[in-house]
Structure 1
Amino acid sequence: MTAEEAKKKIAALTEQINHYNHQYYVNAISEVTDYEFDMLLKELEQLEEEHPTLKQEDSPTQRVGGTITKNFETVAHTYPMLSLSNSYNEEDLYEFDQRVQKGLEGEEYEYVCELKFDGVALSLTYKNGILKRGVTRGDGAQGDDITANIKTVRTIPLKAQGKDVPDFFEVRAEGFMSRASFDRINNDIAEENIRREQEGKKHLNMLANPRNAAAGTFKMQDSSVVASRQLDCYVYAYMSENDPVEKHEEALQKLKEWGFNVSPSYQRCRNMDEVIAYIKKWEEKRFELPLDTDGVVIKVNHIKQQKELGSTAKSPRWAIAYKYKAESATTALESITYQVGRTGAVTPVANLAPVQLAGTVVKRASLHNANEIERLDLHEGDQVFVEKGGEIIPKVTGVDLSQRLKDAKPFEFIHACPSCGTALERKEGEAAYYCPNELGCLPQVKGRIEHFVARKAMNIDSLGSERIEQMLEVGLIKDATDLYSLRKVDLIAKLEKFKDKSAEKMVAGIDASKEIPFSRVLFAIGIRFVGATVAEKLATHFRSLEALSKADRETLINVPEIGEKIADSILAFFQDPKQQAFIEKLKQTGVQLEMPEQEEATVEEAIFEGQTFVVSGVFQDYSRDELKKLIQRYGGKVVSSISKKLNYLVAGDKMGPSKKEKAEKLEVRIVSEQEFKDMLPL
């Protein structure tokens, strides 16, 4: 067979096998026998082995795995993966509906309801129709590249099918392990353990629940093992600069046409009453599905209205999740212990007699604060109700008073810090008690350093919790700034079992963190309520820590998406003498405390200083991202929604009429692409 003949045969087999895969795994249609399918796949594998350069990117032979990934690269999401606000009753949903109605100012709107599947959130990137990258959600801004493992999931197309497939787009998906696969794997483990017991070998651990099993499997190093576990996937969103449709429902239909596995359980609802009816319909019916689901996601259907409503720093304003009542269990409350966090907040934790709940054994549950202990009226030896829905940490929801012991004593919240013994204080308007000994309370100091070195902060991965605690105990460090004066010889001399290579790696990691961008340094500092997203907005606006520290309350509140609560926290931080001393030490470490000079606009260039822009529509000479970068380059700020504070709406073709109407109503200046270009320096 000539190379040209092999090329044609490989292309034909690839297309044929991918078609059979899609029909079987997505449409549940078996067009050939298993034997016929295996023979075709074997023929393709042999041809690819003989002609490796002719193997196509969407070859179905990738489904069987075989790639070994020792370290998963961390990559930034093109579009942030925001979390959803949760609701637990109909009243919450009607309040959400009122906010949508107010935000759209009288426009007609509708919703799409989708089941909230209990799996692993994924982002899949396609270029020229080919799957290029699969990434976990991570922290929403960046995640782990698990492409080799993603390709083993047979319901994820390696190549999108259709004439109108965009050049570049992303889909959001929920990867999961079906109950059938979960049971099959656990049965195999049980059989293996029988054999191991006969041979006197240690038992393998059973999988706890499908959700955790899926999360662990997606991060396995050997993709062939991932393939053997038969993971599955539903896609639920389309992301691109170019919207081929006007509604979310149409996007789901388009994804289905392109070969993606879309759950047929979604439904368009004209109003919130129909949303409630959908929720009630699926409350019991959901247990008939092949996977677990814990709620319903409600989304505004029109994409232009989604953009008009915009998002907060953490979640979209056009969507909300309704959570079904969580699974509950009863167990004995054995004791209450107290944890001190990096902010000094003291959190009570219930220690429970072990109980099986939502697929895991629960031994501890959060009690939140002193008010909660009082509200629950907890007594020693109580039998308590414990719930665990989508939450990571279970919570105590009530007490079985019929089983309360006679003469049982009520629990009282502690008055002194469990770590340093300092008298606790309660801040005005807050439920939590705090230990005020910020510099001398070990859990607080340790917690702040752990936050500082975390991956989405300074990313010093060689510094674990135990190592930090050890360095504090021997006096090597007192706060995060002391890390930058550590040397290999000090580490080896003072820390037990610390080898030469480990010390070198730690010092190298600390030195490398000096190149971490200012926005992440700002997050690492640990100002209360300043998360990673808020830190990035503040860094972009103020450009340096020095400028931020001098900002007054009004200036802070005028930053897009920075409210009074965050502004007050920032002011309190920089007015605190202890924090001022910390910042002075931080300035001596060499970390990045301002944006790079090349990114700053010069005085002559800063023509948009103090101006805010919304960019909407399709443009002839620029992409939307290019326009946004130009605005930022010349000192302007780009925001997502139209308000009275907005200075300009840069309007392209196919911009939603509602956005234009709102801008006109608020007397926001609307400029065309050419008018914007005329505003730029020559």
Structure 2
Amino acid sequence: MTEIERIDQLREELHLHNYKYYVENAPVISDQEFDHLMRELQDLEARHPEHYDPNSPSVRVGSDINKNFVQVEHRYPMLSLGNTYSQAEVTEFYERIAKALNEDFEICCELKYDGTSISLTYENGKLVRAVTRGDGVRGDDVTDNVKTIRAIPLVLHGDGYPRQFEMRGEVLMPWKVFEELNRERELREEPLFANPRNAASGTLKLQNSAEVAARKLDSYLYYMLGENLPHDGHYENLQEAARWGFKVSHVTRKVKTLQEIFDFINYWDVERKNLPVATDGIVLKVNSLRQQRNLGYTAKSPRWAIAYKFQAERALTRLLKVTYQVGRTGAVTPVANLEPVQLAGTVVKRASLHNADIIASLDLHIGDNVYVEKGGEIIPKITGVDVASRPEGSEKVTFITHCPECGSPLVRYEDEAAYYCTNESSCPPQIKGKIEHFISRRAMNIEGLGPETVDQFYQEGLIHDVADLYTLKAEDLVRLERMGEKSAENIIQGIARSREVPYERVLFALGIRFVGETVAKKVARAFRSIEALATATLDDLIHVDEIGEKIAGSILRYFADEKNRNLIERLRTAGLKLEADEEDLAGHTDKLQGKSIVISGVFARHSRDEYKEMIEKHGGKNVGSISKKTSFILAGENMGPSKLEKARALNIPVMGEDEFLAMVGEQ
């Protein structure tokens, strides 16, 4: 046997031993024998660099070469799941799916592992890229670090896998490894990790992959994406993935009834405490990929899946004081400062009190012993007070009357729970908050800028509002602390690129109260320039889909303020897009102008969300229920009988998807 042939043999053997040990938990050789084979492979590879393989088992030990992470756009966005905390909400989810599909369906029940999300791309059976979730649209390429995680296959075994596909899952730090890591950090007098999730996330971002390898991360994979998957069933695809070498949870179950779902939830609510890794809930997914496509997505999450979060742990600790934070809208949020207490794997020192009504309902006093929970085991909140142990003569907590930042009087608007500082033009947190919103990814997406740089520029007097960003020069920035020439130039270039951001995102970036991303799109399509919007009446605004009097009133108040009008003029002078151009309007028509359309049933050619986008693009309005004002129903298979009966009673036309696509010219 030649040395090259021996290298190939060793690689194949070591891939198999990694799988046996880390995935099947059934090693067939000792650790000493494994190390001996690995050293032999490394020696042979050093003698034959021409036979390099990026997926050799030897990459599991990592490298001392530091690498910066490159941002990569996800082929499929990595959305978050909607959360639910009660079995009643699970029932609502199940019934909503049943009503929407109007056909038999199965639910896949999975453990919700509490780690950091990862997306793995395989081509021809080999791992080619590993990307973090990031902001859901793009993440960091951490391929070299992920290759050190022995539970993740570098080369698949078996056959039948697509030429290219993606596996998603969670990178985890087992409890045992987490505790040992914190013991070591304590001895070195380094800050301790709060929980395994933070430790796993921090480890994955280390630039030295040899150090990543030493941290012994684990991983479970739970979702397959691609064009030519083996099965329509999500559960069935996971079973295939397990056969190819992926670590897939063996406790995943496919069920049909609500009772089976509750049985799964109740069992794991207890048994999860015996698992070697952290879990914080159960994920429920519609099993059929066809049905998933038809159910579609909201702006933030899939309609076909939901996360049931286990009930939060509760701890008793002492209230030390209440402080107040001011947000970009001027809303003042009270924060409880607590005696540190361990809760659900983290040390809790602060908890939100939300508003004055919550403080009053709790009848809080300084020094009270309070019950603290984590909502969804993430955000701490005070849920009760041990009144019997209240110190005698303790001070009652009353909401402040003036802004803690600028001293302006606070106001509370009708039908609002929060108090607001009305000093929009001079209150520092509001100014900085508006700028941070403006530069954010979903708004102007100005790279190189973040909360810290915004605060630095503000403190230095370089910016006082968003328009000031467009007057910055590189020479203004290089003199600042921790700001090199390259960083300064990157910021200036990022600001320049933002001039190409389309009108609808500029509108969102302005931070008009109640005008979120979706509302901004609808408003931008209805009023195709900022001038048209600025001169719109209340009646004009409320005729736009989903714009009620609350949103309309906020828009009117914004443009009635001279400071805001002046700001817009400065942004216009800076070259921002304040009207929809031809590219923005490409494909938009008036073919459905004035038509209100109800979508019902299951479709073959497009998902419901895609049909909703088409309706809006061609000037139509999506409505959820049938009435005399409904123009027609776009119907797929298994349209609900009650809807069909109502349509006939009101003499409303029912249109199939082929007829609809022909009408709008999208065939």
Give the TM-score taking structure 2 as reference length. 0.84
For 1:378 and 1:156, locate their aligned partners in 2 and report how far apart those are by CA, in whole Å. 50
Deviation at 1:556, TM superposition (A): 8.2
Give the letter for the 1:140 counterpart: G
- 2:415 aligned with 1:429, yes or no? yes
Give the letter for the 1:156 counterpart: I
For 1:437 and 1:235, locate their aligned partners in 2 and report how far apart those are by CA, in whole Å. 50
Which residue is equivalent to 2:112?
Answer: 116
- Paired residues of 2:538 and 2:553 also in contact (CA < 8 A): no
Which residue is equivalent to 2:264?
Answer: 278
- Of 158, 163, 177, which residue of structure 1 is paired with 2:159? 163
TM-aligned CA distance change 1:519 to 1:57, over 3 Å: farther
Which residue is equivalent to 1:185?
Answer: 181
Deviation at 1:340, TM superposition (A): 0.6
Deviation at 1:298, TM superposition (A): 1.8
- 2:77 aligned with 1:92, yes or no? no
Q: Gapped runs of 5+ residues in structure 2?
A: 648-652
TM-aligned CA distance change 1:132 to 1:580, over 3 Å: farther
Q: Secondary structure at the match of 2:21?
A: helix
Which residue is equivalent to 1:26?
Answer: 23
- Paired residues of 1:527 and 1:569 also in contact (CA < 8 A): no
For 1:308 and 1:184, locate their aligned partners in 2 and report how far apart those are by CA, in whole Å. 47
For 1:132 and 1:569, locate their aligned partners in 2 and report how far apart those are by CA, in whole Å. 52
- Paired residues of 2:470 and 2:495 also in contact (CA < 8 A): yes
Q: Secondary structure at the match of 2:654?
A: coil
Which residue is equivalent to 1:152?
Answer: 148
Over residues 413-452 of structure 1, what are the superposed CA-to-partner deviations in whole Å (9 max), with x where a residue is unaligned? Answer: 1222222222222233221111222112111011111222
Over residues 383-412 of structure 1, what are the superposed CA-to-partner deviations in whole Å (9 max), with x where a residue is unaligned? Answer: 111123545442111111111122333211
Q: Gapped runs of 5+ residues in structure 1?
A: 194-202, 651-655
For 2:132 and 2:281, locate their aligned partners in 1 and report how far apart those are by CA, in whole Å. 21
- Of 524, 537, 554, which residue of structure 1 is paired with 2:509? 524
TM-aligned CA distance change 1:517 to 1:32, over 3 Å: farther
- Of 117, 121, 125, which residue of structure 2 is paired with 1:125? 121
TM-aligned CA distance change 1:466 to 1:301, over 3 Å: closer
Which residue is equivalent to 2:301?
Answer: 315
Which residue is equivalent to 1:667?
Answer: 654
Single out whichever of 238-247 and 392-401 deviates more from structure 2: 238-247
Give the letter for the 2:332 counterpart: V
Which residue is equivalent to 1:414?
Answer: 400
For 1:546 and 1:112, locate their aligned partners in 2 and report how far apart those are by CA, in whole Å. 51
Which residue is equivalent to 1:200?
Answer: none
Aligned residues: CA RMSD: 4.2
For 1:257 and 1:558, locate their aligned partners in 2 and report how far apart those are by CA, in whole Å. 55
Which residue is equivalent to 1:348?
Answer: 334
Over residues 112-148 of structure 1, what are the superposed CA-to-partner deviations in whole Å (9 max), with x where a residue is unaligned? Answer: 2211111111222223332222222222222222122
For 2:28 and 2:302, locate their aligned partners in 1 and report how far apart those are by CA, in whole Å. 42
For 1:307 and 1:662, locate their aligned partners in 2 and report how far apart those are by CA, in whole Å. 23
- 2:438 aligned with 1:442, yes or no? no
Over residues 74-132 of structure 1, what are the superposed CA-to-partner deviations in whole Å (9 max), with x where a residue is unaligned? Answer: 2222222222222222222222223223222x423332221111111122222333222
TM-aligned CA distance change 1:512 to 1:261, over 3 Å: same
For 1:497 and 1:237, locate their aligned partners in 2 and report how far apart those are by CA, in whole Å. 42
Over residues 152-202 of structure 1, what are the superposed CA-to-partner deviations in whole Å (9 max), with x where a residue is unaligned? Answer: 111111233343211222222011100121123234445x53xxxxxxxxx
For 1:565 and 1:78, locate their aligned partners in 2 and report how far apart those are by CA, in whole Å. 39
Q: Secondary structure at the match of 2:41?
A: helix
Single out whichever of 95-104 and 42-51 deviates more from structure 2: 42-51
For 1:447 and 1:209, locate their aligned partners in 2 and report how far apart those are by CA, in whole Å. 29
Give the letter for the 1:128 counterpart: N
- Of 326, 341, 344, which residue of structure 2 is paired with 1:358? 344
- Paired residues of 1:327 and 1:389 also in contact (CA < 8 A): no
- Paired residues of 2:148 and 2:213 also in contact (CA < 8 A): yes
Aligned pairs (5 A) from 1:245-260: 245-260=231-246
TM-aligned CA distance change 1:541 to 1:313, over 3 Å: farther
For 1:17 and 1:320, locate their aligned partners in 2 and report how far apart those are by CA, in whole Å. 38
Which residue is equivalent to 1:653?
Answer: none
- Of 556, 567, 572, which residue of structure 2 is paired with 1:582? 567
Give the TM-score taking structure 1 as reference length. 0.82
- Of 95, 98, 102, which residue of structure 2 is paired with 1:101? 98
Residue correspondences, number: 651
- Paired residues of 1:649 and 1:669 also in contact (CA < 8 A): yes
For 2:369 and 2:268, locate their aligned partners in 1 and report how far apart those are by CA, in whole Å. 32
Give the letter for the 2:95 counterpart: Q
For 2:229 and 2:640, locate their aligned partners in 1 and report how far apart those are by CA, in whole Å. 18
TM-aligned CA distance change 1:134 to 1:616, over 3 Å: farther
Give the letter for the 2:150 counterpart: R
Which residue is equivalent to 1:196?
Answer: none
Aligned pairs (5 A) from 1:193-342: 193=188, 203-342=189-328
TM-aligned CA distance change 1:90 to 1:535, over 3 Å: same
TM-aligned CA distance change 1:550 to 1:140, over 3 Å: farther
Give the letter for the 1:48 counterpart: E
